[in-house]
């Protein structure tokens, strides 16, 4: 069980790193001129971060997390703290999907969002992370 828990934590750290860095890249990409060397470099960075780190880490987080829940009964769907945590993970996964769509928009030079928008959404993964960690560690409900 400790190996699975360790792999779950490692996966989450990698997933969160990507979820925090990807919108930050988009802040700068939004200000780059379409077709510029800088814009093309951001496209490569965003694609590689998403495909090589963030998405595999999300998948691993889900696999190891579900393994802990169903394989070791680390939580129950009757625990309210777990339901709030699970909702946070679903929301974080949805945010991941939305960021994936934005990467695709940038890749096709079809971004319609401002740098200010990306600064604001950069806070969403942080807020979700705070909720999730508090639910797991403090279990306030």
Q: What does the pLDDT read at residue 77?
A: 86
Per-residue pLDDT tens for 1-10? 899 999 999 9
Mean of the pLDDT values across residues 29-55? Answer: 98
| Residue 96 assigned as binding residue | no
pTM value is: 0.92
| Residue 85 assigned as binding residue | yes
96 in Cβ contact with 21 (< 8 Å):
no
Spatial CA neighbour of 25 closest among 125, 103, 130: 103
122 in Cβ contact with 23 (< 8 Å):
yes
Rounded Cα distance, 115 and 117, in Å:
5
Rounded Cα distance, 68 and 78, in Å:
16
Tell me the domain boundaries of the chain.
2-137
* pLDDT band with cut points at 50, 70 and 90 for residue 46: very high
Look at residue 72 and tell me whether its pLDDT is greater than 90.
no
Mean of the pLDDT values across residues 90-109? Answer: 98
Per-residue pLDDT tens for 105-134? 999 999 999 999 999 999 999 999 999 999
CA 49 to chain CA centroid, nearest Å: 11
């Amino acid at each position: 069980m400790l190996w699975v828990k360790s792999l779950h934590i490692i996966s989450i750290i990698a997933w969160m790193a990507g979820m925090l860095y990807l919108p930050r890249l988009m802040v700068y990409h939004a200000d780059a001129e379409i077709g510029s060397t800088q814009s093309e470099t951001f496209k490569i960075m965003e694609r590689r971060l998403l495909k090589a780190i963030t998405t595999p880490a999300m998948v691993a987080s889900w696999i190891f997390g579900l393994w802990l829940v169903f394989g070791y009964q680390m939580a129950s769907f009757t625990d309210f703290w777990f339901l709030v945590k699970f909702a946070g993970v679903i929301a974080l996964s949805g945010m991941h999907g939305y960021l994936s769509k934005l990467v695709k928009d940038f890749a096709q030079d079809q971004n319609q969002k401002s740098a200010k928008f990306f600064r604001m959404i950069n806070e969403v993964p942080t807020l979700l992370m705070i909720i999730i960690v508090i639910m797991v560690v403090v279990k306030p409900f």
